[in-house]
Amino acid sequence: MPGQRESAERVEAARGLVADIDPVEGQPGEVLPQESVQAVPKVRRRASTRRLDPGDLICGDCGEGNVATRKFCSRCGCSLADAEVVKQSWWRRFVPRRGARSRKSGERPKNLRGKSKVGEGVAAAFRVVRRVVSVLLIVASAAYGLSADFRGWVNARAVALRKQFEELVLPQYAPVAPVAITTTSELPGHPGGAALDGFSNTYWAAAKDGPEPTLVLRFDRTVTLAKAIVRPGARDSFQSTHRPQRLHLVFSTGKTADLELKDNPEPQELEIADAEGVTSVEVHVTGLFQSVKGTEVALSEIEFFEEK
């Protein structure tokens, strides 16, 4: 038809007026429409919200601690296949375990395992002995409460056993008294024997500027000295006299020992070494606690002991 032919000619003429556009290098080409993909939010690693125990699994994505039985993280839901396992600290191996113990698959407590015939026999014998002992204790308790004679016998045996135990464990000492006492120096009214008379208000006094103050004690038998009790100075005028600070002991065997004293008027108990089998001892005052106005050395008491 003449009208349609004229329209087609106009369309072709219009296309001739549009210039072709070449694609610019580097621009993306044409693509078909696609579905939009939602971006997965990135999980930040944070500290665990629970205390980590040995064997727990630490999520590699969020850092949450999970019990060893879980397969997926309790916080972010990620797989725990490659999770880090919490190791036990070296010092926890030496700390006693508390609470229920976790066991491996197939492991049974010792008391649930099968017992051998020998073990069963020992257990049966132990049960019998335990019952017999229980009955004897009940009978003895009743007899102790009802019978005065039995109660007295038990008390006496208990005291004797305690004494025997103390003698075995705790050393017992006996005093050793000399039969002769001599000194290198002594002042009037304060002889050497005053240091061994058993009274704390008397004392042996020697001149400070004279010979070295020395007591010589002789025993009537061979003894082994183990301990000494010393009261330095004069009790009633402690600061007015010089007080022994060191006593040098020379035994009849040729061995020696030193006793270091405190500047205190109270009795001082001192151990003695190398004094086995002696018949005499020399007590030399080789060190002093000086007095401001004193001119004499005073020793209130010295007593020797041997072990029973």
Considering the domain architecture, whether residues 207 and 142 belong to the same structural domain is answered as: no
Q: Looking at the domain assignment, is residue 34 inside a domain?
A: no
Considering the domain architecture, whether residues 179 and 301 belong to the same structural domain is answered as: yes
Number of Cβ within 10 Å of residue 106's Cβ equals 5
CATH of residue 275: 2.60.120.260
- Per-residue model confidence (pLDDT) at position 277: 95
Considering the domain architecture, whether residues 139 and 236 belong to the same structural domain is answered as: no
Q: Which domain holds residue 65?
A: 43-92
Considering the domain architecture, whether residues 180 and 244 belong to the same structural domain is answered as: yes
- Per-residue model confidence (pLDDT) at position 221: 96
CATH of residue 70: 4.10.1060
Nearest one of 64, 286, 37, 292 to 184, comparing CA atoms: 286
Q: Looking at the domain assignment, is residue 100 inside a domain?
A: no
CA dist 124 → 113, 116, 147, 229 (Å): 17, 12, 34, 59
**CA 203 – CA 211 distance, rounded (Å):** 18
Considering the domain architecture, whether residues 160 and 181 belong to the same structural domain is answered as: no
**What's the domain count of the chain?**
3
> pTM for this structure?
0.50
Give per-residue pLDDT as tens, 8-17.
677 676 666 6
- Per-residue model confidence (pLDDT) at position 196: 95
User: 265, exposed or middle or buried, with CB in 10 Å at 0-12, 13-18, 19+?
Assistant: middle
Give phi and psi for 94, each to the nearest 5.
Answer: -95, 0
- Stretches where the chain sits below pLDDT 50 are none
Give per-residue pLDDT as tens, 35-74.
776 665 666 778 888 888 888 999 988 889 999 889 999 8
Nearest one of 127, 133, 66, 67 to 102, comparing CA atoms: 67
* C-alpha 190, offset from chain centre: 52
Considering the domain architecture, whether residues 302 and 270 belong to the same structural domain is answered as: yes
Considering the domain architecture, whether residues 73 and 124 belong to the same structural domain is answered as: no
Q: Looking at the domain assignment, is residue 129 inside a domain?
A: yes
Considering the domain architecture, whether residues 269 and 302 belong to the same structural domain is answered as: yes
- Per-residue model confidence (pLDDT) at position 227: 96
Q: Looking at the domain assignment, is residue 114 inside a domain?
A: no
Q: Looking at the domain assignment, is residue 22 inside a domain?
A: no
Considering the domain architecture, whether residues 179 and 165 belong to the same structural domain is answered as: no
- Per-residue model confidence (pLDDT) at position 304: 97
DSSP-derived pairing of the beta strands 84-85 and 180-183: unpaired
